[in-house]
Structure formats: C-alpha cells, structure tokens
Structure 1
C-alpha cells in the first residue's frame, strides 16, 4: 500500500489540480452553506420536512468545507505534515459526511414519495419529534459505517533517501521522503470489505431507493390531474443528479481497486489496475468534495425569482415556498383521490339504478302473469 500511496502523491499535476479545486470549493462552500443555515434558522418562518433535511445537509457540507484547508496543504506539499490522530479523524469525518449526505437525499426522495403516493400518511411525517429521532439515527448510522477509516488510516513514509531538516533527502538518485495518510489493509479481503461497503451502502443502495421513489412519483403524477412541475421537485432532483455525478468517479475507482485485489500479486492485470486507481484516487476524491459546495449554487438558481424582491431573505422565501408547495400538493392529491372515490361511488350508484330499472319491470310482469293465472 505504501507504493500505491507514493504513486498517488507523486502525481504532481493531479496534486496541483486537486489543491486548486479544493481552494475553489472552500471559497464557495463555506459562505454558501453558512448562508443556507442562517436563512433557515433566522429567516424562514415555516420549516417543512424538506427544509429540515436541507438544513442538515447544509450543516454536514459546511462542516466538511471547514476541513478542506488541511487537504489543500496535503496536496500542495504532497506530504502529510500533521499527526496520525488528525489523519484518522479528518478522513473519518469526510467518510461520515459521504454517508450522511446520501442518506439525507434518500430521505428527501422518500418523503416526496409518501407526500404524493400516500398523502394521507404525510401528517405522520410532519411530526418534528419523529423527524428528529430519524435524523439522530441517520447520523449515528453514518458515524458507525465510517469506523473502518479510523481503523485502517495510518501515516506512512515513502522515499529511500536520507531526510534533511527541511523534509527533503540528499544523495544521488534517491527519492525525497514524504508522509502519506492512507489506508493500510493487512489483508486484501479488508480492501474488498471497506470499499465494497462504501460503494454499496453509500451509492448503489440509496440511489436504487431514490430512482425507485422517483419512478413511483412520476407514475403517480401521470395518473392524477395534478401534472404541473413543482419548484421543490426540480430542486431535489437537481441535488440528486449533481451528487451522483460528482461521487460516481470515486466509487468507480473503489471498484477498480477492489478488482485489483483478485489478481495475482505480480500479474500484468493487477499492475494495470493498480496504476489506474493510484493515479486517479486523489483526483476523484477531490472531485467528490465539489458536491458539498454545489448545493448553495443550485438553491440560488432555484430562488432567482425571489432575489430582487426579497433581498437577503430570498433563500428563506424559497424554503417557505417548498413548504407551501408540499402542503398544496398533499391537499390536491387528497382532493384527487376523493374525486376518484366520488366518481367511483357515482358510477356504482348509477349501475344500481340501472339494475333497479331493469329488474322492476320484470317483477311487475311476473306479478301480472300470476294474477292472470289466478283469474283475479
């Protein structure tokens, strides 16, 4: 693993590009997510379930953005200059953010599903105490699933030269010594366990739930009279798509690294796959950070109609609008279901009347026949 990590950090172009991307992410993400948190807590008068989920997502992303300076220094110096405790804790928090973010987005999708397909049950989801318990459980789950990072992250050294006082080495043909914060797995099966767990539980499984939810939502909308596109629906869909696009390369590299463990140690296939994941691991991890700063940009585009009228309160008006749209959507879905039930009842009553009109003459004719036979 040390050789692989040395290859990652020896990619000068990737390290410089990653540091530049993280610098931009920090400049956009910190003020953007802080503004979202302030808008919801200080300016929003109505806090829907979607708004509270967005608040938790902004808290997770904003906290992650505060950690980016450590990773900027890491990429710029191509050496971990901090201690091992920070190596474990910082990457552990990054992994927890990954799990929490995708689980929060999954909850948004499930809430929209219930609000549209089962509108009568949405009142149970509006209970803030129940939502608080769900959110606490979500954060505990995210922190628990990230434990392998605490176990396997370690600071290792690379380079075989003699270290001088400024961190470089002397001697002919020797490689400068550097410190790397990477995962050190004692056995290949631990590589498979950690990265398969990340890809399945933080990407494939939640995205399967998200896609299934939106397929049900679209099918339901087509069956009802309420076909107008809703701003909050578009906003959540944009969050889902951007999160997937920025995290997909990271999980692809996870699977490349897992595939490399199934090859014999010195086989050409293993060398080829190791070269792929070691050269792209740093870049794909950096790109994944972008997902945490892009949401405020999406919110701003969604709320552009409020900016001129509301000033700094435009974001709060957006979130209040999503709350109103959710309630209207629930009422309209209920009305649609009531209308369908009413139409069904009217249809059944008409059938009953028709059957009565058919059976009544038959009954009277039978009575007449009996009377004629009796001669009365």
Structure 2
C-alpha cells in the first residue's frame, strides 16, 4: 500500500514501476499542493461556517438564491474539513488511511464537485427565469418546489458520484481504461454540460436585458457571475488534466506521445486538484468583497445584512411589483413591463 500515488480528487493509483514519476515523487508539486490545501483548510472551514451561521441565525426569510448559497456553503465547508487527510498524505508521501477511507473520501470529494456546479447552475437558471420568465417564477416556483429541487439535486449528486466508489481503489490491478472512462464522464457531467447550461442562461439574460428599457447595474447579478467564473477558473485546470489523461489512452502504450501526456497528467495532478479545492473557499471572500460597504456599519452581521432583503424575491409571491434600490435611489418596478434582477440589499 506504500507504492501508490493519490490526489484529492483522483484517488490512489498504483505505481509499481520504480521509474514512474508519480505525483508523490514530485517534491515541488506535492509541496505546492500541501501549501494550497493548508491555506484552503485555514480559510475555507471558518469562512463557510460563517456563511451558514449568517444565513441561519441572522436571516428570517430565505430567498431562492440564499437557499442555494446556504447549500453551497454547507457542501464547501464539509469538503474543506476533509483536506486534512490530503495534507497528511502529501506530507508523508504515502496513503496511510486504508482502502475504505480512499473510497469514502474520494466519493465525498466528487459529491462536492457535482453539488457545487449543480447548485451554481441552479442559481443561473433561477436568474434566467427571474429575468426572462418573471411570471413563471412568481406563479410556478413555490418554496416547496424550490426545496424539492434542492433535495433532488443532492440525491442526484449522491447517485452520480457512486462510480467513484468503483473506480477509486488502493490496489495493484487498477484498470486504467475504466479510470480513463471515468475521467471523461466526470468532466462531461461535472463541467461541460453544467457550464453549457450556465452560458446559455446568461446569454439569454443579456439578450433579454438588451431588449428592454429597464437596464441597470445589478450587484447580485455580478456576485452570481463572479461565483460562476471563479468556479470555472479553479476547476478548469483539473478537467484539462482529465482530458490529457483521456487523450493519452488514444495512443499506443509505449509511444512517446503517450508517455509525455502521462508525465504531464501525473506531475500536474497534485497542483490542479489543490487548485480545485480553492473554489470551495473562494466564495466567502467574494461575499466579503460584495458586502464590504456593510462591514463598518453592521460588523459580523454584514453578510446577513447583504442578503436580508431577499424576501422581495421570495417564491410564490403574488405581487408583481417590487421595490428596488440601487445607487440611483429607490424606485418601483412593474414586473409586467420590465425584467427584474434585484440587488442584494433587497433581492437576490
């Protein structure tokens, strides 16, 4: 069990060839990975716990976006607590927690990846409905529907992560072909398809805003877009390495190109996996910057203050008029004539 390599999101992989440059044999890569994960642990756990506390303890009524952010913070905070195992692994350069923990930890890491991107996708689709189909949002999307959708998302996450229990193992007979197929599935289901939905949603949102006279600078739209972009930037290298490893399987086993691609993927796994973890501690930083104008006035309650006005975005409301507030002051917005994307001060 000592002769293996493992990364936080790829799991253990046997390295029976003593000349094989595994990720644990690369001191530079593992050192950077351990440093990144240590910072992620220090910042990510308290940051996400603070978000959960702010929403649960400080906000009486939760909007759709707030509920999604709450679930995202729970998933991210839980993942951050798991980084201690991978920090120990990178420091010791051997997996000491056994086969069962390998499967469980990788399953939980994969579940977080899917949960994060699916919840972010739901945020984007919700904004699309709010801007393009406001009547659908107010009449069909009730609080019960939202809770069922979120629960269904978690069920889907747990089901879609099951293959990781099969393809991740501490053993000497790992099937590289099956692992490669899983890498492809992971990237398509956990990145390409969700991001395609997100991009389509924002294209339609921008198109709708250009077609209407009601256009203004909306903080919440920028915040959600920042979450989307941040997730993509930190996860893209990981999925690129997935595709590099998939591409390696297209070439003969002893070809120079395959060896080069294998070297790239093996030497980059620790760093790209650690970068992916950063996305789970980046959101608290984004929220802090978005709510910095509230910090002096509200102290530790600044994040709750930033989201407390989201009751105007409550699902199932019968009202078609909302009070919006931006830098130009307050104004009534007719939902029948304009598209509405509320600011954090009074909408999500």
Q: TM-score range by the shorter chain?
A: 0.7 to 0.9
- Aligned equivalents of 1:76, 1:23: Cα separation in 2: 11
Match of 1:278 in 2: 266
Q: Secondary structure at the match of 1:121?
A: helix
Asked if 1:237 is matched to 2:225, the reply is yes
Q: Compute the displacement of 1:311 (Å).
A: 1.4
User: Superposed, which structure 2 residues align to 1:93-112 within 5 Å?
Assistant: 93-112=108-127
Q: Secondary structure at the match of 1:154?
A: coil
Q: Compute the displacement of 1:113 (Å).
A: 0.3
Q: 1:202 aligns with which of 190, 198, 202?
A: 190
Asked if 1:303 is matched to 2:291, the reply is yes
Match of 2:337 in 1: 336
Asked if 1:29 is matched to 2:30, the reply is no
User: Superposed, which structure 2 residues align to 1:153-168 within 5 Å?
Assistant: 153-156=168-171
Q: Compute the displacement of 1:18 (Å).
A: 0.8
User: Superposed, which structure 2 residues align to 1:32-51 within 5 Å?
Assistant: 32-51=47-66
Match of 1:267 in 2: 255
- Aligned equivalents of 1:105, 1:257: Cα separation in 2: 27
- Aligned equivalents of 1:322, 1:204: Cα separation in 2: 30
Asked if 1:256 is matched to 2:271, the reply is no
Match of 1:64 in 2: 79
**Measured at CA, do residues 234 and 217 of structure 1 come closer, stay the same or move farther in structure 2, by a change above 3 Å?**
same
**Measured at CA, do residues 86 and 187 of structure 1 come closer, stay the same or move farther in structure 2, by a change above 3 Å?**
closer
Kindly provide the CA deviation profile for residues 32-74 of structure 1, in whole angstroms up to 9, marking residues without a partner as x: 0000000000001231000000000000000001111111001
Q: Compute the displacement of 1:124 (Å).
A: 4.0
Kindly provide the CA deviation profile for residues 20-39 of structure 1, in whole angstroms up to 9, marking residues without a partner as x: 11110011101100000000
Q: Secondary structure at the match of 2:335?
A: helix
**Larger mean Cα displacement after TM superposition, 139-148 or 247-256:** 139-148
Q: Compute the displacement of 1:104 (Å).
A: 0.2
1:36–1:296 Cα contact (<8 Å) kept: yes
**Larger mean Cα displacement after TM superposition, 119-128 or 137-146:** 119-128
Match of 1:2 in 2: 14
**Larger mean Cα displacement after TM superposition, 35-44 or 221-230:** 221-230
Q: Compute the displacement of 1:191 (Å).
A: 2.8
Q: Secondary structure at the match of 1:332?
A: strand
Tell me the matched-pair count: 310
Q: Secondary structure at the match of 2:127?
A: helix
- Superposition CA RMSD, Å: 1.9
> Which is greater in Rg?
1
1:48–1:126 Cα contact (<8 Å) kept: no
Q: Compute the displacement of 1:156 (Å).
A: 4.1
User: Superposed, which structure 2 residues align to 1:128-147 within 5 Å?
Assistant: 128-147=143-162
- Aligned equivalents of 1:67, 1:256: Cα separation in 2: 27
Q: Secondary structure at the match of 2:182?
A: helix
Q: Compute the displacement of 1:285 (Å).
A: 0.5
Match of 2:34 in 1: 19
**Measured at CA, do residues 80 and 220 of structure 1 come closer, stay the same or move farther in structure 2, by a change above 3 Å?**
same
Q: Secondary structure at the match of 2:169?
A: strand
Q: Which TM-score applies when normalising by structure 1?
A: 0.79
Q: Which TM-score applies when normalising by structure 2?
A: 0.85
